[in-house]
Amino acid sequence: MSKQRIIVVGNGMVGHKFIDSIITDDSVDYEVITFSEESRLAYDRVQLSYFFSGKTAEDLALTDETYYQENGINFVLSDKVVELDFANKQVITASGRVEAYDKLVLATGSFPFVPPIPGNDQEHCHVYRTIDDLEAITESGQKSKVGVVIGGGLLGLEAGNALVNLGLETHIVEFAPRLMAVQLDEGGGALLRRKIEDLGVNVHTGKATTEIVAGETCRYRMNFADGSFLETDTIIFSAGIRPQDELARSSGLTIGERGGIVIDNHCQTSVEDVYAIGECALWENFIFGLVAPGYQMAKVAAAHIKGDSGLAFTGADMSTKLKLLGVDVASIGEVHGKTPGAQSYTYNDEIEQVYKRLTVSADGKKVIGAVLVGDVDAYGSLLQLMLNDMDLPANPSVLILPSSGDEESAGLGVDALPDTAAICSCFDVSKGDIKEAVAAGCTSMGELKASTKAATGCGGCSALAKQVLDSELANLGFEVKKDICEHFAYSRQELADIIRVKKIKNFDALLTECGQGLGCEICKPAVGNILASYWNEYILEDAHIELQDTNDIYLGNMQKDGTYSVVPRIAGGEVTPDGLIAIGQVAKEFDLYTKITGGARVDLFGAQLHELPAIWEKLVDAGFETGHAYGKSLRTVKSCVGSTWCRYGVKNSIGFAIELENRYKGLRSPHKVKFGVSGCTRECAEAQGKDFGLIATDKGWNLFVAGNGGMRPRHGDLFASDLTDEQVRTYIDRIYMFYIRTADRLQRTSVWLENMEGGVEYLREVVINDSLNINAELETEMESNIGNYQCEWKTTIQSPEKLKRFKHYVNSEEVDTGLKFKVEREQRFPLLKDEIKITELV
């Protein structure tokens, strides 16, 4: 029996989802071929804006060639299908390629609508749709000072965020009287505008652009219908999307009056064996512009091709929750009051900048819609109430009042949801699916994501999925243990509190107080880190040395060949010529590999254990200190040259960076910490990707917290604006020590803040408003730690007893002669294992 041949035209998110749905069933043998007009396979368009935060095309990829090859999927890139021959059941591409099919799936998606404005096709005019578009925007941004987005909807605000990230003066121009006019009511749109303008983005509503001509102060001038104008260097059009139906239209498929390929409940088009899914498809005269409905269509089409007619597409919920320019926004169901007899409850806090509106049925028993701006914690519960047609409590207003947060007491917690409740719409994961996953052994979000894919799409369901997971674990009698290990029945935070309150100074005393046994490789480093965070004693004291890992014991990072790195501190990246000469002399004398790092320091690699004291003695004599590259502590404070040299700089970023690095150097914390200080909004120090980031404005410093440029990049949250130097120091002191008190073991600040109930708003309450009445303690603890600072290498080289540790053999002065190196680019590198074998054979 020959294989059934399926052609998928389009390899975007929905096209790829269809392919995934087909290959999960091994009972039928299919031959699948997919065509992509782009030069790359499917990638995550939902997360596209993270491209400007450091993510690469590879990071955004949803699949790769190996996955398709292993599953027998044929793919053709950079070749557009231009003709459909229904009579002979084949497709023809732009290159002349002809392929036959048994079933044809059109997943051609949509294209950005560019208003017919004279001058819209000039060099620095862009759309915001593909990675290629983003690369063009980035290149344009490097040659621009001012940027404008035409369109104030979801994608328009995403595009605005991109311009902000590129350091441009940013404007958003919207034809409608408010931002996000489709998703938000008047109150929600007004608050969103206010919050975005507070971030320095200029918003212009009710503006119709009539032409784009040459500018006087900028590259272009946008003239508006009301006689006003705006000058800009680059323009992004994000005025909505249109279904990509040109191929279907020219081939004779039935098309809707305003575009879109007409489909039935099984995603079939007007021609037999031809399906359409995603944003190109028109169901009941409606185009669905979100990924979740497209995924549902993909599953329905795949099921129908397999012979299952029971699954049908009957519409989809268009509710959404997202963060736009750092502002939390959510929209559920009907938001414009069109339902007859509907009533609404409104909460508007102009001080805290929170707006919530809950729309209920005429009898007050059902949720019809909701708008949430500034605080979207209620999104998950309100959405489930609507989707599952659940009755509201006697006083529905409690669901949006800030003092409530009490869905459980109102009988509306996750336990009240039916098993059919859709938790993750992107991957169609129900509460029942999560219950089954827990019963099968899932006990963490990581395991749940791997098992069900819940919360791996748009991410909007993460909090709700975690609540269901925890609830089911509790219902099954599982104890979600917080114990750091078998020796301490406490979490890392609880141990930190015990050490702080009882002023415990060493591990043995802590064991006696609240532990058992001898300790292990988990609790010892964690306790050593906590002790250093509070008391900042010399970590190689006899009482502390057993708690340190290899890197801390030898005050250097061990490399793969057994040698160590040497990283002197270069505060803020500023170093004198004599300092550079000293580093160069050390590197030359000990034949060390030398590299300037991304953190504006000089790394020296290849030092043997016995050489470390001699190297550091020379560096200390030259005025250098340890850079703590080996410790869970402050690493670097990256800075630009700011107002000292740069013509755009508005504050002395390098001077303040040096001050901050010298203030917090050596401070141990649950994980390593990095700072960035930029002298203007062009952001050359990449401060928003750091644990603590400062950006100078003409009004002071904007402080960002919990950024991360590591394995999972994250933009920092704006914590406070227009701060003085003293306010910055005070707030960082408090946040840093609060992080030390409350974070989990080896938890980055990014994860710490994401897991913090209430997020950055709660952190502001603690740090700025002293809601826990602990700020005086936090400041005292920080000052004590700073006062106890010492350069660990300077202390070590002054102690003959401690220097005994830096020997290869306890009973011999011999050195390690087994190290083998090669020379490339006039520097010494370790030989790889295979290279060592070849050398020995020769």
Using CA atoms, how far residue 833 sits from 319, 669, 804, 837, in Å, is 55, 36, 31, 6
Is residue 136 within 8 A of residue 652, CB to CB? The reply is no
Name the phi and psi angles at 454, rounded to 5.
Answer: -55, 140
> So what CATH class is 318-412?
alpha beta
Cα(468)–Cα(685) distance, integer angstroms: 41
**Start-end of H helices in 396-553:** 431-439, 445-452, 462-475, 492-502, 507-514, 523-535, 542-545, 550-553
Is residue 543 within 8 A of residue 588, CB to CB? The reply is no
Cα(142)–Cα(126) distance, integer angstroms: 14
DSSP of 719-733, one letter per residue?
Answer: EEEEE-HHHHHHHHH
52-80 burial: b if 16+ Cβ within 10 Å, else e: bbbbeeeebebbeeebbeeeebebbeeeb
Any residues with CB less than 8 A from the CB of 262 and at least 6 apart, and which?
253, 254, 255, 256, 269, 270, 282
Q: Is the pLDDT of residue 263 over 70?
A: yes
Cα(107)–Cα(258) distance, integer angstroms: 18
Mean pLDDT of all residues belonging to the chain: 88
Cα(838)–Cα(823) distance, integer angstroms: 16
More confident residue, 24 or 620: 620
Give long-range contacts, CB 8 A cutoff, 24+ apart: 357-361. Answer: 357/185, 357/187, 357/188, 357/400, 358/382, 358/396, 358/397, 358/399, 358/400, 359/333, 359/334, 359/335, 360/392, 360/396
Range of weakest confidence among 140-144, 234-238, 352-356, 618-622: 352-356
> Are β-strands 593-596 and 602-607 bridged in parallel, bridged antiparallel, or unpaired?
antiparallel
Cα(260)–Cα(264) distance, integer angstroms: 13
Q: What angle do CA 637, 642, 643 make, to 5 degrees?
A: 145
Using CA atoms, how far residue 508 sits from 35, 326, 520, 542, 668, in Å, is 65, 46, 13, 12, 20
Of the candidates 523, 841, 789, 797, which has an alpha carbon nearest to the alpha carbon of residue 661? 789
The three-class DSSP label of residue 404 is coil
Per-residue pLDDT band for 405 (boundaries 50, 70, 90) equals: very low
Is residue 766 within 8 A of residue 515, CB to CB? The reply is no
Predicted local distance difference test score (pLDDT) of residue 491:
85
Q: What angle do CA 115, 116, 119 make, to 5 degrees?
A: 105
Per-residue pLDDT band for 409 (boundaries 50, 70, 90) equals: very low
Using CA atoms, how far residue 529 sits from 270, 525, 631, in Å, is 67, 6, 9
Cα(694)–Cα(699) distance, integer angstroms: 13
Beta bridge partners of 545: none
Q: Is the pLDDT of residue 804 over 70?
A: yes
Question: From start to end of 3-46, where are the E strands?
Answer: 4-9, 30-36
Predicted local distance difference test score (pLDDT) of residue 27:
46
What tokens does 350 get? 């102009």
Instruction: Count CB neighbours of 208 within 10 A.
Output: 12
Is residue 304 within 8 A of residue 23, CB to CB? The reply is no
Cα(33)–Cα(799) distance, integer angstroms: 70
pLDDT, tens digit (0-9, with 9 covering 90-100), for 494-546 = 899 999 999 999 999 999 999 988 888 788 889 999 999 999 899 888 888 88
Q: Is the pLDDT of residue 638 over 50?
A: yes
Q: Is the pLDDT of residue 236 over 50?
A: yes
Predicted local distance difference test score (pLDDT) of residue 471:
82
Q: Residue 451, by phi and psi: left (phi above 0), alpha (psi -120 to 50) or beta?
A: alpha
Is residue 105 within 8 A of residue 6, CB to CB? The reply is yes
Counting every residue written for the chain, the total comes to: 842
Name the phi and psi angles at 792, rounded to 5.
Answer: -60, -35
Predicted local distance difference test score (pLDDT) of residue 252:
95
pLDDT, tens digit (0-9, with 9 covering 90-100), for 131-158 = 999 999 999 999 999 999 999 988 888 8
Please state the three-class secondary structure of 186-201 as a single string.
HHHHHHHHHHHHHCCC
Any residues with CB less than 8 A from the CB of 28 and at least 6 apart, and which?
4, 306
Instruction: Count CB neighbours of 168 within 10 A.
Output: 23
Is residue 540 within 8 A of residue 534, CB to CB? The reply is no
> Where are the domain boundaries for CATH 3.50.50.60 in the chain?
4-111+243-305, 125-239
Per-residue pLDDT band for 780 (boundaries 50, 70, 90) equals: very high
Q: Is the pLDDT of residue 711 over 90?
A: no
Which one is the CATH code of 418-480: 1.10.357.10, 1.20.1560.10, 3.40.50.10860, 1.10.10.1100? Answer: 1.10.10.1100
* DSSP assigned state of 391: P
Burial class (CB in 10 A: 0-12, 13-18, 19+), 541: exposed
Is residue 467 within 8 A of residue 379, CB to CB? The reply is no
More confident residue, 8 or 574: 8
| Sign (positive or negative) of CA dihedral 334, 337, 343, 347 | positive
Any residues with CB less than 8 A from the CB of 542 and at least 6 apart, and which?
none
Using CA atoms, how far residue 793 sits from 581, 676, 799, in Å, is 20, 26, 10
Is residue 669 within 8 A of residue 739, CB to CB? The reply is yes
Per-residue pLDDT band for 712 (boundaries 50, 70, 90) equals: low
Cα(680)–Cα(658) distance, integer angstroms: 17
Dihedral over alpha carbons 495, 496, 497, 502 (to 10 degrees): 90
Predicted local distance difference test score (pLDDT) of residue 165:
83
**Start-end of H helices in 86-151:** 131-141
Which one is the CATH code of 633-787: 1.20.120.160, 3.40.30.10, 1.20.120.610, 3.30.413.10? Answer: 3.30.413.10
Cα(545)–Cα(524) distance, integer angstroms: 10
Please state the three-class secondary structure of 345-384 as a single string.
EEEEECCCCEEEEEEECCCCCCEEEEEEECCCCCHHHHHH
Per-residue pLDDT band for 408 (boundaries 50, 70, 90) equals: very low
What tokens does 278 get? 């995603």
Predicted local distance difference test score (pLDDT) of residue 616:
93
More confident residue, 464 or 538: 538
Assigned fold of 4-111+243-305: FAD/NAD(P)-binding domain (3.50.50)
> Where are the domain boundaries for CATH 3.30.390.30 in the chain?
318-412
What tokens does 661 get? 């690095």
> Where are the domain boundaries for CATH 3.30.413.10 in the chain?
633-787
pLDDT, tens digit (0-9, with 9 covering 90-100), for 372-400 = 998 887 888 888 888 888 888 878 888 88
Cα(587)–Cα(566) distance, integer angstroms: 10
Element holding 280 (H helix, E strand): none
Segment 785-789 mean pLDDT:
92
Per-residue pLDDT band for 841 (boundaries 50, 70, 90) equals: very low
Read off the amino acid at residue 637.
V
Segment 264-278 mean pLDDT:
97
pLDDT, tens digit (0-9, with 9 covering 90-100), for 651-701 = 999 999 999 999 999 999 999 999 999 999 889 999 999 999 999 999 999
Instruction: Count CB neighbours of 835 within 10 A.
Output: 13
Which one is the CATH code of 125-239: 3.40.1370.10, 3.50.50.60, 3.40.30.10, 3.30.9.10? Answer: 3.50.50.60
**Start-end of H helices in 515-607:** 523-535, 542-545, 550-553, 577-589
Instruction: Count CB neighbours of 645 within 10 A.
Output: 10
> Where are the domain boundaries for CATH 1.10.10.1100 in the chain?
418-480
Beta bridge partners of 704: 693, 718
